[in-house]
Every structure is written in structure tokens, then in C-alpha cells.
Amino acid sequence: MATNNLSAQRIYTANSVFANGNFIKIGVTQEGIYKIDAAFLNASGLGATNIISTAIKLYGNGGAMLDEKNNTFYYDDLTENAIQVIDGGDGIFNNNDYILFYAQGPNRWLKDSTNQRFNHQKNLYSDTAYYFITVGGIGKRINTKTTTIVANQSVTSYNDRYFYENDLVNFLNSGKEWYGEEFSNINTNNLSRNFTVDLNGLIVTEPITVSSNFAGRSVLTASSLAIKANNNLLTTLTIPANSGNFLDVFAASISSQNSFLSAQPTLGLNYTFIPSTTTAQTWLNWFEVQSRRALIVPTNGQLLFRDWRSVGTNNIAEFTLNNTIATTEIWDITNPFQPDKIAANFAANQTKFINDASRLREYVAFNNSNFLTPISFGKIDN
């Protein structure tokens, strides 16, 4: 009996958005709110003289790596992203008018709902995420979300996350895994290295969690690696002995995760390698720092935040942000293609807003300045 598999076949987009129209290509290297003005569009090759504001469109799928599994959903064409257009109210984009949009950047954080933490995923193939701008039709816009519901959760701090990963060396010139700084006595390498992470607004009664990953090569005898935070020893890791045989693994992967309290708003991490031989080597792969920090909007920056603790069935959360001004905006960026501007109340350098907390939501807060600027790659061919 023949089986009809047509219903299981995927339906693809008939025509690419690039099929018609003029497009400029832009790039972003980090997550955040970006600004594009008329001068930027002109310099990029997309004339910005008296453009109808509603016709401006932004396309892009974010910049994270595609999943290596074939059965994972992926977009077969560019997705339109909602933007905010400030045109002075005349409906024409020119002079000092500008566009604001949220961009995901090339890397991403994967949620660990069980442990209420995150694992970073660095893009192995690109340090830039790309977006495309065109003019024509009616573009998607960011809507303002208002609410009259009453909060049952109060939020004044958030789950902060930071990672460091510097791809410098690829063992044996093979594979997709790259490693960073080397610790050894070979050539001019150091045995000890320091890293500093700003944790302004740290909630000192809440633990900081540092996760680290290394690759170590120590032939015949084991070596060790000491990890310190603010001059306090967290742990000493063992770098297992390697036979040195070409059939053996070149280097062993070593990981650690340590939680501790700190009263200092700056975290100083020290990694010190203790080699057992003159040829022993260790390479830093990456480290992550996760902590609780107060909801304080940086004077000269943006605040990306989220809160695991307020999440629950039927939960409604009220967030209180400090160091804000009357023009501070909060966007719900949980759906990166269609962010919402959240209606908020400002008073005495504080901004408060209420939103559904039945699921983890991502937000960004920013003042009417300090925007990021994308890289222009000019016009592209259809």
C-alpha cells in the first residue's frame, strides 16, 4: 500500500525577499539596541531623501549558528524584524530622523530551565550578525504594550550573565574547537593570567557562579591548575597525565563550576598553571560568570536583563529599575523579531513596569542615547 508523504513535506518560500527592491547590508557584533539615521542610509547607498517612513523595512534572522541537526526548524528566507521609526511625526524620513532596532548579535545564551541558569554558545563561524534594510510597502513596527493587571511579584534584581572566549589556536589544525590563552613555560607564555569582570550592583548576599573550561596536556605526569576569585582559592584542578603517544588524545578537557559570595563589585579571576614538566601546557577555552545584580540602568549604556525567580504559573511581575530618566524605554525582546515597547511609570529616578511572568522574558532598558551603531556593507545585488 502506497503512503502519501506529501503532507509531511515542508513548504518553502516561493521567492526570496531579495528578488526585488534595493537592499543595503549591515552588520552587528553584539546584542543590543542599534540606531540608524538618514545620513547612515545615504552613505550606505540607500537614498534617504523624503522616504515614506512606513516603507522602511529591516530583515534578518539573528546571528546565532544554525543547529547541526537536520530536523531542527530553520528559516528558509529572511524574516522581517519590527523597528521603531522616529520621524518627527510628519511621516517622512529625512534630516535628523532615525530608526531603532534590536539585534541579537552572533552569539546566544541557551536556557537551562531546570537549574535556572544559562550556557553560552559562541558562533564558531562568524563574529558578525547581518541584517538588511530596504524601502517598499508597509514595514513591521514595534508596538507599545500596556497593562492594567496587578502584580503579585516584585523584582529589583536580575540574573546577570557574562562569558569570555577568545579563539586563538586550533589543535592539530583539525576540527571546529578552538582554544584561547596558553599557560606554559614554552616560549613567552605565562603560567598565570588575570581577568576582570565588572559586577556593578552585585547583590552581595547572592552567590556568584564561575564556570571554566580548559584543555590540558601533561605528558607522563599530571599537572594542576589553581583558580582564584578576588585572591581567594576556589579550586585546584588536576590535568591528567597523557602518554604522549600519537594515538592518545592530544589534550584533556577539564571543567569546573564554583559558587561563592563576594562583597566586591568587581570580580578578579586568576588562573595559575602548575606544570609537572617543562613541556606541560594548558589552554583556556572559556569561562562564564553568573550572578544577581540590581536593576540599575548604566548611565552610558544599555541594560539587558531577565529574572528567573519571578517566573511561575499565573505570576505577574513588577520590575523596578533605578538610575533612569523620563525618556528611559523598556523593550520586551523575548521575541527578537517582534519586540514590544513596555508602557512604564517614571518618578524620582526610578522606572516601574508590569508584565506577565508565566515564562522567562528577556528585556532591554535604555535611555534616549548611547545606542549602538551597525557596520555598513553598502548595497547588495539582487
Q: Which set of grid coordinates corresponds to residue 271? A: 588562573
Distance between CA atoms of residues 347 and 349, nearest Å = 6
Q: Which CATH number, 3.20.20.150, 3.40.50.170, 2.60.370.10, 2.60.120.260, labels domain 162-292?
A: 2.60.120.260
Task: Say if residue 1's pLDDT is above 60.
Answer: no
pLDDT at 5 (0 to 100): 53
- The predicted pLDDT at position 289 comes to 99
Do residues 267 and 208 lie in contact, with contact meaning Cβ atoms separated by under 8 Å? yes
- Nearest Cα residue to 308 out of 360, 265, 348: 360
C-alpha cell belonging to residue 67: 543547529
pLDDT score recorded for residue 326: 96
Residue 48 above 70 pLDDT? no
**pLDDT (tens digit, 9 = 90+) per residue, 223-256?**
999 999 999 999 999 999 999 998 899 999 999 9
Instruction: Give CA–CA dist 272/263, Å, rounded.
Output: 23
Q: What is the pLDDT of residue 187?
A: 82
Q: Who contacts 203 (Cβ-Cβ below 8 Å, separation ≥6)?
A: 157, 291, 292, 293, 294
DSSP 263: S
Q: Which region holds residue 16: left if phi is over 0, alpha if psi is between -120 and 50, else beta?
A: beta
- Rounded to the nearest 10°, the torsion over CA 20, 85, 109, 323 is 170
Tens digit of pLDDT for each residue in 181-197?
A: 999 999 888 999 999 99
Q: What is the pLDDT of residue 368?
A: 85
Q: Of 199, 31, 56, which is closest to residue 120 (Cα–Cα)?
A: 31
Model pLDDT, residue 291: 98
Tell me the residue ranges of DSSP E strands in 178-298: 182-184, 192-198, 208-219, 223-229, 232-239, 241-242, 252-260, 266-274, 281-294
Look at residues 223, 243, 235 and name the one whose alpha carbon lies nearest to residue 271. Answer: 235
Q: Which of 12-26, 260-274, 339-353 has the lowest mean pLDDT?
A: 12-26
Backbone angles phi, psi at 359, to 5 degrees: -145, 160
Give the number of other Cβ atoms within 10 Å of residue 31's Cβ. Answer: 24
- 133 CB-side CA count, 13 A: 31
Residue type, 357: A
According to CATH, where is 2.60.120.260 located in the chain?
162-292
pLDDT digits (tens, 9 = 90+) for 120-157: 999 999 999 999 999 999 999 999 999 999 999 999 99
DSSP 8-state class, residue 127: S
For residue 117, the model assigns a pLDDT of: 96
Closest to 85 measured CA to CA, from 76, 96, 75? 96
pLDDT in tens, 268-318: 999 999 999 999 999 999 999 999 999 999 999 999 999 999 999 999 999
- β-strand 241-242 against 302-305: which pairing, if any? unpaired
Evaluate whether 234 touches 209 at the Cβ level (below 8 Å): no
- How far apart, in whole angstroms, are the C-alpha atoms of residue 87 and residue 99? 8
Q: Which three cell numbers stand for residue 213?
A: 573550561
The answer to whether residues 160 and 290 touch, using CB atoms and an 8 Å cutoff, is yes
Q: What is the helix (H) or strand (E) element at residue 331, kind and residue range?
A: strand 329-332
pLDDT score at 72: 83
pLDDT of residue 71: 82
